[in-house]
């Protein structure tokens, strides 16, 4: 309470226009210019004058204005912190990483009334430390709530013997009843001393486990799948079948595909393309010279009908090469944990 009164006193002598001017000074030139374009000439004049007037305001007053702005923003939306990624991205774009992080550190996690959503604001190491000593089922529930890339990062920070256990449990999750969710929320409640609403939720499953596995390195992937195979061979196969596939190559950039094709066994490529989608065929042909593409088409035609198992084996061989190259940083596979190249 004393802190709230202190913040109020810091902004008491500032007018609404001056507070807006402080926010404008923090936005950056591009975003501020966009706002000015939507104001009338008189509003531009008043706000511009105020921006000169507040140029000497100290950091405490700036922080107080930001806190007041964020409080108003939360009061005027029903989304609250439920839109964690949205608010985080907006603040980073508006204020820059450093200023946004300063704001986020003050408004989360204590202000959230849904502890599970605090995970959206945390770093992978912090989440891993949070769940390190919890039951594997709790760990699996927490990881299953995360964005897939973040989930992979958290998984990588857990002990090796727990990694496969967590993926195994995620793969067999479907609907989480309120009692299980209550246990999860209790963990968060103990950490952050907040309340939460309980509801039945759809999390996990083979698809979720597969997407998390797409972001893991090859060695970690093999180790986890090997452990799961001992428990349930069919489940391991289902996870593997839902992971990055030959058809997913269509999402990757031309440069990466050209690099991959140079490292691919020509016989595997011919066989793999025989059973692939027409759009993927055309994309891969477009990554070759006209002569090479024509020769490949001729060889595919000459090959005639082939067994599906042979096609699948060839495609798996190429994907194995692609994953190794992705792990080495030689290529970027869209949809498998690599950042987009620009």
CA gap 336, 324 in Å, rounded? 12
Least Cα distance to 18 among 43, 44, 49, 45 occurs for 49
What domains are defined for the chain? 2-107 (no CATH), 120-240 (1.10.220.30), 245-328 (1.10.220.30)
For 171-208, write each residue's pLDDT tens digit: 887 665 556 666 666 666 665 543 333 333 445 677 77
**What DSSP state is assigned to residue 175?**
E
pLDDT of residue 10: 63
Q: How far apart are the first and last CA of the chain?
A: 48
Identify the band that residue 339 occupies on the pLDDT scale cut at 50, 70 and 90.
very low
Q: Is the pLDDT of residue 283 over 60?
A: yes
CA gap 252, 148 in Å, rounded? 18
Give the sign of the dihedral formed by CA 42, CA 47, CA 53, CA 55. negative
Question: For the purposes of burial, counting CB atoms within 10 Å of the CB of 27, is it exposed (0-12), middle (13-18) or buried (19 or more)?
Answer: middle
Cβ contact 315:276 at 8 Å: yes
Cβ contact 248:333 at 8 Å: yes
pLDDT of residue 125: 81
For 35-50, write each residue's pLDDT tens digit: 877 777 677 777 888 8
């Amino acid at each position: 309470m004393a802190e709230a009164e202190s913040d109020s006193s810091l902004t008491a002598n500032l007018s609404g226009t001056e507070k807006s001017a402080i926010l404008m000074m923090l936005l950056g030139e591009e975003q501020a210019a966009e706002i000015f374009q939507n104001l009338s000439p008189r509003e531009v004049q008043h706000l511009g004058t105020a921006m000169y007037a507040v140029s000497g305001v100290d950091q405490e007053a700036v922080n107080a204005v930001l806190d007041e702005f964020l409080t108003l923003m939360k009061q005027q939306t029903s989304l609250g912190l439920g839109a964690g990624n949205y608010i985080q991205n907006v603040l980073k774009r508006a204020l820059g990483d450093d200023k946004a992080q300063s704001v986020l550190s003050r408004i989360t996690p204590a202000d959230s009334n849904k502890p599970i959503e605090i995970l959206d604001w945390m770093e992978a190491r912090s989440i891993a430390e949070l769940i390190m000593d919890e039951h594997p089922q709790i760990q699996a529930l927490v990881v299953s709530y995360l964005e897939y890339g973040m989930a992979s990062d958290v998984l990588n920070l857990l002990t090796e013997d727990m990694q496969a256990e967590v993926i195994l449990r995620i793969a067999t999750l479907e609907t989480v009843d309120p009692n299980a969710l209550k246990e999860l929320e209790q963990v968060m409640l103990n950490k952050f001393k907040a309340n939460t609403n309980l509801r039945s939720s759809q999390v996990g499953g083979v698809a979720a486990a597969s997407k998390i596995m797409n972001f893991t390195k090859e060695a970690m992937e093999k180790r986890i799948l090997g452990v799961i195979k001992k428990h349930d061979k069919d489940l391991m196969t289902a996870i593997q079948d839902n992971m990055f596939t030959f058809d997913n190559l269509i999402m990757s950039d031309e440069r990466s595909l050209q690099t991959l094709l140079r490292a691919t066994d020509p016989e595997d490529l011919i066989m793999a393309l025989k059973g692939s989608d027409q759009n993927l065929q055309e994309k891969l042909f477009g990554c070759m010279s006209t002569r090479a593409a024509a020769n490949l088409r001729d060889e595919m035609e000459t090959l005639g009908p082939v067994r599906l198992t042979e096609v699948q084996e060839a495609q798996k061989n190429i994907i194995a090469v692609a994953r190794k190259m992705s792990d080495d940083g030689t290529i970027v596979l869209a949809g498998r944990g690599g950042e987009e190249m620009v």
